[in-house]
Amino acid sequence: MEQLNLSNCLTILGQRQSNPVIVCPNCGSEEYRKNGKNKSSGTQIYYCKRCGRDFTPLPATPGFAVNPKAEYEKDCWDCRRLGLDGGVGKSSYKLNFSQLTQPWLRQSAKKYIKVCLSRITFSSTQEKLYSLRRLSRFLSQNYPGIQPEEIDRDVITEYIVYTSGEGLSASTRHKLLCDAKLYFDACYQNQWLDVSRYLVRSEDFPKQPKSLPRYIPEHVMQQLNGCIDDLPEPVMRMVLVLQECGMRISELLHLKTDCLLQDQAGDWFLKYYQFKMKKEITIPISREVARVIQEQRRYIQSHIPRHLGFDYLFTANGGVKHPDFNPVPKVMERRTLPRYLNQLAKRHNICDETGEIWHFQTHQFRHTVGTRMINNGVPQHIVQRYLGHESPQMTATYARIHDQTMKEEVAKFRGKVVNIAGEIVEPNDVEADDADLQWVKKNVQAQALPNGSCALPAISQGCPHANACLTCTHFRTTAEYLGDHHRQLEQTQAIIAKAKSNGWQRQVEMNEKVKGNLESIIAGLTECKK
């Protein structure tokens, strides 16, 4: 064996300093192997032996140098090498110009995007580059070899027809034309290209339909909650928080472990940061959701060592090869939660009214919360405060859809809260922020039932018969919920069968009463329809 001398030791030490330890950003493992290089950027790709994912080193990793000048010379920019944040919950951090086949377009696009990076978010810049790729594809197919000075109104008109013929929505076509206009205007003003002025004009933009809330129908929500325990526990808790609080996915993923607050009355509030509005807000939450958050906090404390400094409430899964959820000290990607939900929808056949499998998107929960609150008579300025909207116009989207059973009463009392007898129980004259919070705290749970309504007036302490509506004398329902009652009867019968097989006598007794009442309700509603 060769004896090490001082010279050899110094050589080895130098090698270690120039080749620092690389850590997988997904699971924190140091066990990896090289797995080729990115063809466009030349970046080394590594394969993690623990979680089975490919990765490139993060900016915090020694050796991942921030070098904007060198990066700008490439055809594929890595925002981490530019010293930029890829965005909240984003896994994509590249800007690839290689798909811009026209050399003049590629070079001018780099100048344009470089300016955009100084004033808008990285994800917004990615969208602008995507629009320029569409423009490049159109020019390649219809005007190969065209030069910038040859682009005139006829070419732009053809591009408008081209985007219409691809079956794109009006909002997408509007975005493509808007990005093209901004790009050409910048090229003209900065003299990057010899292009004409006003190539894209205001009359070119398609009329956009008024947006409607993309809420989740109640019968779909019931199906989801009926099988929600089939999700991994941390994911199930994420969905429960979304259902009540209606926050954006980026806000959910970046909830801190100290997000819970409690007032002197013992009621709970949730504090979180809105990245879109760049402000922190506080909203009242139910005791049930507070318990869910406390459970998740204990879960994090037991699975993530404190010395790692991970202070978020939810984590990513350590690897797709793990059958169970394997928490790692990393924020979950935004696309992961809807993937869990849509896999659940396929496994349990969660369908809409037409029988099609429901496709979940995380923002649907936000729209659902807003729509429910408006439908249940919550004043619009309270909904605006609760969801953290910047303007009343943002909240007005949810006001387009109203529960038919409440529309007349809401219109009659102009936003006042009424009981089942039509008596005003809470005047709508609050203005101060603290008063808004107290109003929501008292009333946010006073919502219509998914299969009927409650005859009790709105109360601050909640129903004394939690989860027992079908055994409560105050329960009311109509024939429009007949299908829901049939489905619930089938579920109740299945619960009774399972309880009997396991000897759960108490469960059998409780559900037999529910089963009898459901059968009576169905018989009565069926008779009314004759």
Q: How many Å apart are CA 376 and CA 369, to the nearest integer?
A: 11
Residues facing 417 on adjacent strands: 426
Q: How many Å apart are CA 245 and CA 386, to the nearest integer?
A: 8
> At 25, is the secondary structure helix, strand, or coil?
coil
Positive or negative, the CA dihedral 183, 187, 188, 190 is: positive
Shortest CA distance to 378 belongs to which of 405, 393, 398?
A: 398
Asked whether 59 and 52 are in contact (CB, 8 A), the reply is no
Name residue, tokens 């929808």.
Answer: 345
DSSP state of 329: S
Q: Greatest CA span in the chain, whole angstroms? A: 100
- The CA-based angle 350-353-359, given to 5 degrees, is 45
Q: How many Å apart are CA 316 and CA 111, to the nearest integer?
A: 36
H helices then E strands: how many in the chain? 18, 14
Residues recognised as catalytic: 248, 276, 363, 366, 389, 398
Asked whether 420 and 453 are in contact (CB, 8 A), the reply is yes
Structure tokens at 296: 């998740």
Asked whether 54 and 45 are in contact (CB, 8 A), the reply is yes
Asked whether 142 and 101 are in contact (CB, 8 A), the reply is no
Name residue, tokens 């811009």.
Answer: 100
Q: How many Å apart are CA 248 and CA 364, to the nearest integer?
A: 10
- The CA-based angle 20-24-26, given to 5 degrees, is 155
Q: How many Å apart are CA 104 and CA 368, to the nearest integer?
A: 46
Name residue, tokens 């050796």.
Answer: 63
Contact residues for 397 (Cβ-Cβ < 8 A; gap 6+): 211, 212, 213, 367, 370
Structure tokens at 300: 């994090």
Shortest CA distance to 59 belongs to which of 25, 92, 36?
A: 25
The alpha carbons of the chain give a radius of gyration, in whole angstroms, of 29
Q: What is the dihedral of CA 241, 246, 248, 251, to 10 degrees?
A: -50
- The CA-based angle 416-420-422, given to 5 degrees, is 50
Type of residue found at 60: A
